[in-house]
Amino acid sequence: MWRQKEVAMSSTAEGFRRARSAAAKSQREGDILAAARRLAAEGGVRSVTLTDIAAEIGMHKSALLRYYETREQIFLVLAGQAWREWSAALRLRLQAVAQHDAAAVAGLLAETLVARPVFCDLLAHVPLHLERNVSVEQLRVFKLVALDEVGAICAVLGPLLGLEREQAIGIVSTATSMAGALWQMATPDEPVRRLYRAEPRLSHAIIDVEARLRETLLALIVGYVTLSGRDG
């Protein structure tokens, strides 16, 4: 009887250790992602290395690789999280928009994207770099996250503006692709920024991302609405 109790207690302790280990692993993964996000916010996604991330949390690079295989994987996970965060915030804000208010929708799309600079930065880097050094499974997970969030946004956007699903998808894809591209243009390295300031003929390169994005999206939405009216 005593031996049975010992075995039972041992099994329970072992299970507890495994649970603690899983929780610790999850915590460490979260720490790594948070460090990568902080560094990206400070100096941009392109400048952040695995060594930088490891140093930020006091970990050796070889130890970090037990949790994430590449820097691209880290930032792809962050991109998936950012899609979820932006989608939830946008859909919440859209609830207060009046039916067919194209200007308000364009403004909210632009405002909520620009309020997330790391997301804007990631939107440019995902197709250029981050999808190229990860496993097919890691890429599949990210793609499905983004697809689900686009679908969730369009389920609100389409009825709100009286548009077809494909038109709503066009608005979201234009918003995110332009946000990524415009963010790169608006945040050059300091030597390039000084050049723009010093050379009047290049001053047009210093853009207001939110204003440019809002104007472009409003034109697109009005165009879609007009086409839908003609088709009807």
**Could you give the percent of the chain with pLDDT greater than 70?**
90
Structure-model confidence comparison of residues 187 and 56, the more confident one: 56
The span from the CA of 95 to the CA of 7, in Å, is: 57
- For 48, other C-beta atoms within 10 Å of its C-beta total 22
Question: Which residue from 10, 229, 19, 210 is spatially nearest to 116, judged by alpha carbons?
Answer: 210
Q: Residue 200: is its pLDDT beyond 60? A: yes
Compute the C-alpha angle 137/142/147, nearest 5°: 125
Confidence label for 192 from pLDDT (cuts 50, 70 and 90): confident
Confidence label for 198 from pLDDT (cuts 50, 70 and 90): confident
The span from the CA of 71 to the CA of 130, in Å, is: 8
The span from the CA of 158 to the CA of 163, in Å, is: 5
Q: In this predicted structure, what is the pLDDT of residue 7?
A: 41
The span from the CA of 67 to the CA of 77, in Å, is: 12
The span from the CA of 147 to the CA of 161, in Å, is: 21
Mean per-residue pLDDT over the chain, rounded: 89
CATH topology of domain 71-231: Tetracycline Repressor; domain 2 (1.10.357)
Mean pLDDT of the 132-141 span: 95
pTM for the model: 0.86
Structure-model confidence comparison of residues 133 and 21, the more confident one: 133
Q: Residue 23: is its pLDDT beyond 90? A: no
Q: How far is the first Cα of the chain from the last one, in angstroms, to the nearest whole number?
A: 81
Domain ranges, ordered by start, for the chain: 1-68, 71-231
